[in-house]
Amino acid sequence: MKFVAVTSCPTGIAHSQMAAENLEQTATEMGHDISVEVQGAMGAENELSAEDIQAADAAIVAADTAVDTDRFEGMPLVKGTVKDAVNDVESLLNQAIEAADGDAETTADTTETADDSGDGGSGEERERRGGDRSKSLGARLKRLFS
């Protein structure tokens, strides 16, 4: 499959770059093509062309800032945070794959807060957010300095 993605954080110095790199590496490992635009305080890097967007099966927006999604209208769109793209990129990509295989109007959003406790004790388990903790920045730094 072919994906386009936008990563964006307020400063755009490190986290959006890490998220973009993680999306690119993981998508390639999973056998998919991806083009990633990085947005930050300095502007946009690797801007997505209209051809890139038109050729894509789905779009991923991993952002902690406002990103204009009008150019992705009519295609499956998965939204998440930069943290999702750094710590749980497989989940974002799997959601994009699922959205691309399904209805083109589907929009998945992983930015819901985990502390919404309005289930009334229905017994349903909430999906654990944040991905594999062994891949987190803290765990990586701990391994680096140990």
Query: Which H or E run includes 136?
Result: none
**Residue 93 burial class via C-beta count within 10 angstroms: exposed 0-12, middle 13-18, buried 19 and up:** buried
- Active-site residue list: 9
For 110, the enclosing helix (H) or strand (E) is: none
Cα separation, 58 vs 70, whole angstroms: 14
From residue 103, how far is each of 6, 7, 58, 62, 139 by CA, in Å?
21, 24, 11, 21, 37
8-state DSSP, 17: H
